[in-house]
Structure 1
Amino acid sequence: MPLLDIRNLTIELDTPHGRVKALERVSLTLNPGEVHGLVGESGSGRTLLAKAILGIPGHNWTIQADRMMWDGQNLMDMSPSERRVLMGSEMAMIFQDPISSLDPAITVGTQIIEAMPENKELPRWKRGSDKRKKAQQWLHKVGIKETQKIMSSYAWELSDGECQKVMIAIAVANQPRLLIADEPTNSMEIRTQAQIFRLLSKLNQLQNVSILLISHELETLSQWCDRLTVMYSGQVMESGVTSEVIANPYHPYTKALLDNIPDYSNPEHHKTMMQTLPGSAPALQHLPIGCRLGPRCPQAKKLCVNQPSLCHQKDRYFACHFPYHNEPCHEEPLTKS
């Protein structure tokens, strides 16, 4: 049974320009112990999807879904208090903006300790010192050397990179079953990025933590993720096993992302022009009808004014009327079951 199963999730936002569909019929399946990559440009709706999973919607959101299940429980039927309990015990998220996510009035050490579960095997008088010791260990694992100094500091005293590491330490110290990492290595140097990804991989392999890894860097996700889901402007373009998606993309947008990865085998790659799609991602108040990639898609035809259904063929999902390397989908679309 999937750990997380979402079918046809739609999120509408009330804006000064009227109601817009920021996410439209998005489906996602995450299995226990899986590292699932969510890739797309800024504004593709990846963070909205993550917040909907955690149950922290905005005041102007309207959420609809055929199915939104967590380990056999219907998330749509849970009360806000039940969702908060779930987020505090089984789910955790590394937010993209760490400074605004940390409490400026409480020391970093206190915030990490609050997120850690109780070790009931220890007597009560030992639990406080044990938590503090483990908090320093988590800070050391995410690449912080002066752990005692950071523990006694406030968020506004730290740099962006240090706050990002503290956010990661808080999330992993909670020992969740699902960790959502939204651009976890943003504003970090290359060596620290590799250290963070190794830590996440170790959590996945040793503690069977499922990870939803959000990034705009397809090259990075292809190295660490078991499966990939490609999003564009609030719609799912393609999903499947990472190696299959990379080797044989069905959707034109996935192919465009792959073509944009630099060719390091070419000694003059830094002098060559990268392949790009014409135009830019549409604003929410000016979304095209049908497939939202249509105005930029090299494969677009008249049929693309109708939104393609997310089709399922041999463990691959794609939403395209004219896919690469594959016949158009004639199967029944993913619907409520």
Structure 2
Amino acid sequence: MNLLDVRNLSIKLVTGSTPILAVDRVSLTMKEGEVRGLVGESGSGKSLLAQAIMGVLDDKWQVKADRFHWRGNDLMRLSPEERKMVIAKDVAMIFQEPMACLDPTKTIGEQLAEAVDEEQLSGFFWQKNKQRQLAATKLLHKVGIKQHEKCTRSYPHQLTDALCQRVMIAMALARRPLLLIADEPTAAMESTNQGQIFRLLASLNQLKNMSILLISHDLETVTHWTNTITVMYSGQSVEAGTTEQIFNQPYHPYTRALVDSSPKANMHIPVKSRLMTLPGSIPILQHLPIGCRLGPRCPKAQRACVKAPKVKNYHGHQVSCHYSLKDDY
């Protein structure tokens, strides 16, 4: 059964006289126990999409969708506040900058204790404080922090980015979510710490059957940890399929360019050779191309690309392109 089923979700930035379409008709599904990657350049709308699902965008963002189902329930029939309450109960999110998300005026122990779900506590009110502290200690152990006493007494600025990220994961796990959204969970980390965080997420998926939406700009890294991948470009979903399909047989020119820029996919080329890159840069929201947003940079662009391409489905491998690369294989 699908945990999350979002169809044609659009996000507009309502400022001034002309609304800006930041995310354009993106569809996303998550199954129980699935690890899905959401990949794209910075500014492609990945974080906006995740925040829209969580319901944490402010009033200047207008969110619309043809379908928004959570565990088979139609959330579009609910008000934004009611929808947010339903999602917050079963979905947790790890944000990009843990240092900015933690409260600098409270210790890690206080913040973790606040995150513990009331349903996990029992007994009289004077007994619950100790239960919260024990639950916070267990959460720190679960994310690999052994020196829990030192950590709980510390303030966020006294910890490294890697430790703060582990604390954020512990706070996300405090509510025992069915779906964990990890938005660039290893940004600005050393490779050793990155591997530890990814292995931690993989163990949560395997041991707790927790579904994970892993957001990243690095396609090569995501392929090691995911079952399926959705590729976004400039607010549009351009391709989706299994990890093997996306990395080994990409159908969209943009996905092909991401793969070609990966060292793993270019082991055969001479040392110090230049990797393939697309010309130009991602368009700004105020001046988006009509039709396919990759058009000005696409090596296969033709006249038909001034119209938005429809999604084509090849046995579960979805691509939005007038001239897909399917016949090249």
| TM-score, length-scaled by structure 2 | 0.92
Evaluate the alpha carbon distance shift between residue 97 and residue 7 of structure 1 in structure 2; reply closer, same or farther with a 3 A threshold. Answer: same
Question: Which whole-Å deviations, capped at 9, do the CAs of 1:139-191 have from their partners, x for residues lacking one?
Answer: 24434343212212222333433322221221123210010000011122222
Shift of 1:290: 0.4
Question: Contact between 1:37 and 1:212, CA under 8 Å: does it hold in 2?
Answer: yes
The one-character-per-residue Cα deviations of 1:113-141 (angstroms, maximum 9, x if unpaired) are: 22223465864465543432342333244
Partner of 2:287: 286
34-43 or 71-80, which deviates more: 71-80
The residue correspondences of 1:149-164 to structure 2 (distance < 5 A) are 149-164=150-165
What's 1:31 paired with?
31
Distance 1:317 1:238 in 2: 6
Q: Letter of the 1:44 partner, please give it.
A: S
Match of 2:233 in 1: 232
Is contact 2:238–2:319 with CA below 8 Å preserved after alignment? yes
Are 1:307 and 2:291 an aligned pair?
no
SS at match of 2:231: strand
* SS of equivalent residue, structure 1 residue 25: strand
Distance in 1 separating the partners of 2:54 and 2:274: 40
Does the C-alpha gap of structure 1 residues 268 and 130 become closer, same or farther in structure 2, counting only changes over 3 Å? farther
> Counterpart of 1:107 in structure 2: which amino acid?
T
Secondary structure of 1:203 counterpart: helix
Query: Secondary structure of the equivalent of 1:52?
Result: helix
SS in 1 for 2:310: coil
C-alpha spacing 1:129/1:245, structure 2 compared with 1 (3 Å): same
Correspondences of 1:219-258 after superposition (within 5 Å): 219-258=220-259
Preserved contact between residue 36 and residue 213 of structure 1 (Cα < 8 Å):
yes
**CA distance, structure 2, for counterparts of residue 119 and residue 86 of structure 1:** 16
Q: Counterpart amino acid of 1:91?
A: V
Kindly provide the CA deviation profile for residues 236-280 of structure 1, in whole angstroms up to 9, marking residues without a partner as x: 0100111112111100001000000014745954x1111100000
Give the aligned length. 326
Residues 68 and 74 of structure 1 are in contact (CA less than 8 Å); yes or no, is this contact kept in structure 2?
Answer: yes
Q: Determine the structure 2 residue equivalent to 1:334.
A: none
CA contact (8 A) 2:54 2:88 kept: no
Code of the residue aligned with 2:3 in structure 1: it is: L
Contact kept in structure 2, 1:143 and 1:192, CA below 8 Å: no
**RMSD between superposed Cα atoms in Å:** 2.1
Q: 1:49 to 1:292 in 2, by over 3 A?
A: same
Question: Which secondary structure does the structure 1 equivalent of 2:244 belong to?
Answer: helix
Structure 1 match to 2:184: 183
* Runs of 5+ consecutive residues of structure 1 not aligned to the other structure: 328-337
Equivalents in 1 of 2:299, 2:131: separation in Å? 58
Deviation at 1:89, TM superposition (A): 2.1
- Cα distance in 2 between the residues matched to 1:59 and 1:44: 21
What residue number does 2:92 align with? 92
In structure 2, the residue matched to 1:112 is 112
Give the % identical residues: 51
SS class of match (2:278): coil
Amino acid at match of 1:208: N
Shift of 1:80: 3.9
What is the distance in 1 between the residues matched to 2:161 and 2:42?
A: 20
Q: Tell whether the 8 Å contact from 1:17 to 1:285 is kept in structure 2 after alignment.
A: no
Quote how far apart the aligned CAs of 1:62 are. 1.3
Q: TM-score, normalised by structure 1?
A: 0.90
1:13-53 Cα offsets, whole Å, 9 max, x none, are: 02357311000011111111100100000000000100110
CA contact (8 A) 1:294 1:300 kept: yes
Alpha-carbon spacing, 1:171–1:48, altered in 2? closer, same or farther (3 Å): same
Which letter does structure 2 place at the counterpart of 1:277? Answer: L
5+ unaligned residues in a row in structure 2: which ranges? Answer: none
The whole-number CA distance in structure 2 between the counterparts of 1:316 and 1:147 is 45
**Partners of 1:295 and 1:121 in 2: how far apart?**
57
Q: Which residue of 2 aligns with 1:322?
A: 323
**AA of the residue aligned to 1:102:** L
Q: Distance in 2 between matches of 1:18 and 1:86?
A: 32
Contact kept in structure 1, 2:162 and 2:193, CA below 8 Å: no
SS in 2 for 1:224: coil
SS of aligned partner of 2:14 = strand
SS at match of 1:86: helix
